[in-house]
Structure 1
Amino acid sequence: MAEANARIRLDKWLWQARFFKSRTLAAGRVCAGAVRVNGERASKPAHPIAAGDVLTFAQGGAVRVVRVLAIGARRGPAAEARLLYDDLDAPAAHGEDAGQE
């Protein structure tokens, strides 16, 4: 997916970027209306996102705000997953080992 206009399902990206342990958990959070894409509430797990989109969602008692930098090809190790996004939260807001849901 090297195209500039590549898109991916919201639930799949959240899972690949390791914000959720499973796509089912990610999809459930999206269906509950707890994820915003560019300030607009996403209601479907299949909502398409692309590089440059800003996602806002609650995770582990904190609100996460991240900018999508890349569309992943797979769910890799944590170091690889961190390359998919830019964390817009304050660095002290959460630890490096913040728990997944």
Structure 2
Amino acid sequence: MRIDKYLWCVRYYKTRNMVTEACKKNHITVNGQVAKPSKEVFPTDKITFRKDQITQIITVLDIPESRVGAKLVDIYRKNETPPEAYAHLELLKLSKEHYRKSGTGRPTKKDRRDIDEYGDDIIDEEEEN
């Protein structure tokens, strides 16, 4: 089975076109070699690709006939991505929400003053040095 079809079948990408674009940008490797979308995939192949700021590492266990349901994905692949990668992603999400919650709108007048004051402090320190 082609690599683009395999990654689509095991639900890592929504469309085959997305997989093809990732292959063209050299984001997907099979057994350490950059893969074209037409690269054939066989059981025991190790696929590495970067998606959502995580370097995913999967091993092909079996080849599906067509796109499979989310509950059946583990039959066809073994996820070998280290747990630290997922912890790093959670940390990134938390750091983005630290100051302002998503969807709260534009900064208030006080927020704006704080931002400007922060920039002024950095400039003052540079001038002193």
Normalising by structure 2, we get a TM-score of 0.64
Structure 1 residue 39 corresponds to structure 2 residue 56: no
For structure 1, the residue ranges without an aligned partner over 5 or more in a row are 1-7, 96-101
Shift, 1:74, TM fit: 1.3
Map 1:7-86 → 2, pairs under 5 A:
8-42=1-35, 44-86=36-78
Relative contact order, CA 8 A, sep 6+: which one is greater?
Answer: 1
- Give 2:96's aligned residue: none
Aligned length: 87
Normalising by structure 1, we get a TM-score of 0.80
Cα distance in 1 for partners of 2:65, 2:11 equals: 13
Rg comparison, structure with higher value: 2
Alpha-carbon RMSD across the aligned residues, in angstroms, is: 1.4
Percent of aligned pairs with the same residue?
A: 28
For structure 2, the residue ranges without an aligned partner over 5 or more in a row are 88-129
Shift, 1:30, TM fit: 0.8
Please tell me whether the aligned partners of residues 10 and 48 of structure 1 are also in contact (alpha carbons under 8 angstroms): yes
Higher strand share: 1
